[in-house]
Chain A
Amino acid sequence: MKIMVAVKRVIDYAVKIRVKADKSGVETTNVKMAMNPFCEIALEEALRLREAGHAKEVLVVSMGGPQCADTLRTGLAMGADRAIHVSTTETLYPLAVAKLLCGLAESEKPNMVLLGKQAIDDDANQTGQMVAGLLKWPQGTFASKLSMEKGSSSVTVEREVDGGLESLKLQLPAVITADLRLNQPRYATLPNIMKAKKKPISQVTPEQLGVKISSDLEIVEVVEPAKRKAGVMVASVDELLDKLKNEAHVI
């Protein structure tokens, strides 16, 4: 079985985000970048499936400018077998990414597509679902546990939903998106980092995949959320009720 894992390069989660002065976006120059944490978890799960003998190859893919190579090298250092970089300088929104992944799936023919449930920069939580829709494959999103029988063509996914945990059995090929508690990603060991340098990263363009990148979306403005106002001390219960009724309008 071949597993394709899609990873995204985002601003490192620990960095304090600053909005650009012209409100067109956030500062990304000289800011530390890293692989999206949920993508790391997805890749870790793919590696574990390979180590358990359920998969033969783990393919890691990413799309964007030349810096994607960093993220792909990280993926290879963690243990992926090979990488594909879809190079484009266009702004990518979830639908475009989904179409590209669909194109890749058609040429690579993986049995499973693993993604992180969402990216920490846009929190869209759309790509995995769209890919499944485009490929017409079953989907198991917010996976907190994955299990497979040896030689089986189905996978059992335990999902975290509002009401608790839901168990689904999906027929492969399927799309699965990883949630936080699926696993704890491994560290990239030195020998693997050295080996990763020799692993191939193949380049493709959107045209080669037959995808035209266009978007109906346009970012109008990016602003910081309003600063939390300091609390107000009230002197009596009556004053509290008055404020709740007339100022906060909650009762």
Chain B
Amino acid sequence: MAPAKRAVDVLVRARLLTGGAWSQSRHYSGRKLVSQEEQLVSHRPLYNDQDRNMSSKSAPVESGLRCSLFESYMRHQVRRFAVSTKSSGNASAVKSSRFDKLKEPDVKFFKSAVGEKGVIMDKDELAVANIDWMHKYQGHSQILLRPQTTRQVSEILRYCNSRNLAVVPQGGNTGLVGGGVPVHDEVIMNLGALNKIISFDEVSGILVCESGCILENLDNYIGNKGFTMPLDLGAKGSCQIGGNVSTNAGGLRLLRYGSLHGNVLGLEVVLADGTVVDMLGTLIKDNTGYDMKQLFIGGEGTLGVVTKVSILVPAKLGSVNTAFLACEDYESCQNVLKEAKMQLGEILSAFEFIDRAALDMALTHLSGTRDPLPQSWKNFYLLIETTGSDEAHDKEKLHRFLESTMEKGFVADGVVAQGSTQADSFWQIREGISEAIGKAGAVYKYDFSLPPKYFYKIVEDLRGRLGSAAVVLGYGHLGDGNVHLNVSAPEYDNELLEKIEPYVFEWVAKHKGSVSAEHGIGFMKPHALHYSKSTEAIMLMEKFKSLLDPKGILNPYKVLPNASKSTPNPNAAAARTLEAAEVF
């Protein structure tokens, strides 16, 4: 064992000294790109060396340090640290030395805090909780806690904070960036048992509930009283409202009802040290001091754990109309959007975009779907929905809108759903694309916000760049400027990944877009954060993080690019080497 250790030790030291040597070639080319682009882009630097080092991709195969020992080391590291080679562009998964391991007294304490039933150490249940929905990110936590009250959440966090145990708050585990599963052996705290609906005021439309309530259940509950949740997404049967709030989930109806930043009226959160912060206001207007809850909306569980939510819900209107349209080119799609906003105005409730490749993917891999427009083979499709209170008025408006857009040549062909069955079949296609791509093979998923002019250009540019190596498809919330760019390939391939990243991130940064429109950063994109946020902004985020969670126990290794760094320690380098050697 000893000789091998030494050889590997050398390699590890080499890696640390050269600072991610295997990414050097790209690192350099990236810097070249910056100097050209810096003239075009005004203020922020596109490339932050420091960030890049710590969060280099775990791409095991790279030119330079190629030898069998190195490769076997990398393979071992991948297995040991459970970073999937399927992942694209994750943060480095070096386990931080500042966290302690789970010990027997800890288990005893947890059992006393949440009861025997609230502590799960069963292998099979843990296996499910340790892996994300896409089966892309897998941790190896040994314990899953299910607190039933806010007080229990507070006790758990206070204890973990004192013991330096890292915690992953988990909701429905439907996130797409690995934010809800452990990276190593963090304690998983699932909020699913906090599932009580506390109150619902039918006059004001304000719902107060615990964060573990499943979105669809809430929708059904208030649906009986004539209201609907302001967000709707494919995961609604499993996702929890606490998770939605923590990721500032967008969804299909953001266009109509706005984001959670506006709809959430109050939160109750528990901080890393166990402090319970009651901001559970139920007032639509409350300008008393700084609006601290906004930090936690979209905080991805890194600043605090949401335990209760107070949300304003809109009335559920009866008249819903859905149309599926085909357009000749992307410019027509933009024109249709403009017309829709003007002519459909207040009744427009969803405006979704599907390109030919995405439609084909859905029709091929999903059972029970059929092409709404078999007679017109076009490259761009739109799914438009209107929601209003008067059937006759809405139908009239919709028909006038469709007539005018057809006359102007923006819409080439289309169909209008004649009842829920047909409307559902359109949504089945749109909501099922993600699942369909998953069935087709390997997929690299991206979620960008871009100005409408460039919404589809990135898809075209990437398609040209990748050629026949992969199928590039684009779909998404055109009304919000949010494109879901997906690359489908027969299998995961690092060469292909090299061509995609950082090309797409740089493309988005060049056009002042967002590298993560609604999916969040999670474990997947801390290294890409700087493409859409300035150094100063990231610095502010880190300040808040260290203020609210000084020990960094909440959801470590995620969101912030420096989240995987240990706390400053003169023996840091030695400590890292030691710990990597411990692996063997």
Contacts and interface: CB of A to CB of B under 8 A. Distances in A.
A165 to B, nearest CB: 23
A187 B370 CA distance: 11
A183 to B, nearest CB: 12
A185 B416 CA distance: 13
B534 interface: no
Contacts of B406: 190-191, 194
A1 B262 CA distance: 61
Given A30-B318, A30-B389, A32-B318, A189 B413 contact: yes
Interface in A73-106: 74, 77-78
Interface string B398-429: 01001100100001011111111110100000
Contacts of B318: 30-32
Contacts of A58: none
A32 B418 contact: no
A40 B420 contact: no
A110 interface: no
A193 B420 contact: no
Contacts of A194: 399, 403, 406
Interface stretch (A8-16, A129-137, A167-175, A243-251): A8-16
Given A13-B421, A14-B424, A190 B415 contact: yes
Contacts of A193: 399, 402, 416
A190 B402 contact: yes
Interface string B355-367: 0000000000000
Q: Which of A37, A189, A191, A197 has the most CB of B within 10 A?
A: A189
A62 to B, nearest CB: 14
Given A31-B318, A193-B399, A16 B419 contact: no
B203 to A, nearest CB: 18
A190 B403 CA distance: 8
A184 B370 CA distance: 10
A35 B399 contact: no
Nearest to B422: A187
A5 to B, nearest CB: 15
Contact of A190 (B320, B392, B416, B420): B416
Contact of A40 (B325, B373, B418): B418
B420 A187 contact: no
Interface in A176-228: 184-185, 187-191, 193-194, 197
Nearest to B395: A70
Contact of A35 (B325, B415, B419): B419
A247 to B, nearest CB: 30
A26 interface: no
A55 interface: no
B571 interface: no
Contacts of B68: none
A13 B420 contact: yes
Contacts of A185: 418, 422
Interface in A1-58: 12-16, 30-35, 37, 40
Interface size class, chain A: 20 to 34
A188 B418 CA distance: 7
B415 A187 contact: yes
B115 interface: no
A12 B224 contact: no
B319 interface: yes
Contact of B414 (A16, A37, A189): A189
Nearest to B420: A14
Nearest to A197: B399
B498 interface: no
Contacts of A34: 418-420
Contacts of B370: 184
B372 interface: yes
A98 to B, nearest CB: 25
Interface string B289-316: 0000000000000000000000000000
A78 B418 contact: yes
B38 interface: no
Contacts of A35: 418-419
Contacts of A191: 406, 413
B340 to A, nearest CB: 15
A238 to B, nearest CB: 29
Contacts of B411: 190
B413 to A, nearest CB: 6
B391 interface: yes
Contacts of A33: 391
Nearest to A75: B418
B402 A37 contact: no
Interface in B206-245: 223-224
A14 B318 CA distance: 12
A189 B375 CA distance: 10
B330 to A, nearest CB: 20
Contacts of B325: 190
Contact of B419 (A12, A31, A189, A190): A12
Contacts of B415: 187-190
Contacts of A197: 399
Contact of A13 (B319, B324, B389, B419): B419
Given A13-B420, A74-B418, A190 B319 contact: no
Interface of A: 12-16, 30-35, 37, 40, 70, 74, 77-78, 184-185, 187-191, 193-194, 197
For the complex of A and B, 4 pairs with smallest distance between CB atoms: A14-B420, A34-B419, A187-B415, A190-B414
Given A16-B224, A187-B415, 11 more contacts: A13-B421, A14-B421, A32-B391, A34-B418, A77-B418, A184-B370, A187-B324, A187-B416, A188-B418, A190-B413, A193-B402
11 contacts: A30-B318, A37-B421, A40-B418, A40-B419, A70-B391, A77-B416, A77-B418, A187-B373, A190-B325, A190-B414, A197-B399
